[in-house]
A = this chain, B = another copy of it.
């Protein structure tokens, strides 16, 4: 599509609709907006299928507010992740219709609408303590227009809990496995299903867990095939990848 953009502008030059200088300016300003402390990538949705999401960690509250304002001009909804409750409180005062999910630590500018894309994204967790990461994944999936469901606390220390939910696994299009501790659930699920599995290690654990290193390495070395891994606690990233997969279905193109 970048090619198409370039060709379109080149054609406009040839036909005299655009001067060279104008064309060059268009090539430069097309895809983003510089608001001083950030370059908003409005073109991203066209390019990657997903509009820019606001990663709030390490950003000033005032900056986040301005970014949301600018993004809201070009998008029907805005998602802000990694947002602590204190900052959220300030931001909500600027956007009365917005909603903050304290478990997912995320904010959406407008309420979620009904899923518009076909194909369910199923999110499974090994334990109850993995819920925040699963919730961030669920919110992201729903924000991106997908059906999504969470199945909590079916870790391998009681493997029958998973086996008995096999029907849920079967009807999903993609499965996200969220697990801390030793992360073994990803391998067990990967060995049971034919769908792509996205594994998210969480920082739930202690001692030789090293804040998520244990399940991360475990998942990377999974003996099952068809498993892709994302960063520790990265529920957003898992849902983004799941979305990229489900959007390939013809019904969604």
Residues of A within 8 A of B (CB): 1-3, 6-7, 10-11, 13-14, 19-20, 23-24, 27-32, 36-39, 41, 43-44, 47-50, 53, 55, 57-59, 63, 67, 82, 126-129, 131, 152-161, 163-164, 166-167, 170, 173-174, 181-184, 187-188, 190-198, 201, 203-234, 236-237, 240-241, 243-245, 247-250
A37 to B221, CA, bound (A): 22
Q: Shortest Cβ distance from A31 into chain B, in angstroms?
A: 5
Q: How far is the CB of A121 from chain B (nearest CB, A)?
A: 12
A6 touches B24 (CB 8 A): yes
CB of A180 to closest CB in B, whole Å = 8
Evaluate whether A208 and B231 lie within 8 angstroms (CB atoms) in the complex, with A39-B158, A160-B32, A214-B221 already known. Answer: yes
Copies in the complex: 8
Residues of B within 8 A of A229 (CB): 220, 228-230
Given contacts A20-B10, A157-B224, A158-B31, contact A57 B206 (CB under 8 A): yes
Give, as a whole number of angstroms, the nearest-CB distance from A53 to chain B.
Answer: 8
CB contacts (< 8 Å) of A126 on chain B: these are 223
Bound complex: CA of A192 vs CA of B1, how far in Å? Answer: 10
User: What are 21 A-B pairs with beta-carbon distances under 8 A?
Assistant: A7-B24, A48-B191, A57-B206, A63-B128, A126-B223, A156-B156, A157-B190, A182-B223, A201-B207, A206-B232, A207-B220, A207-B221, A207-B232, A208-B213, A209-B221, A225-B244, A226-B240, A227-B230, A227-B237, A245-B248, A250-B250
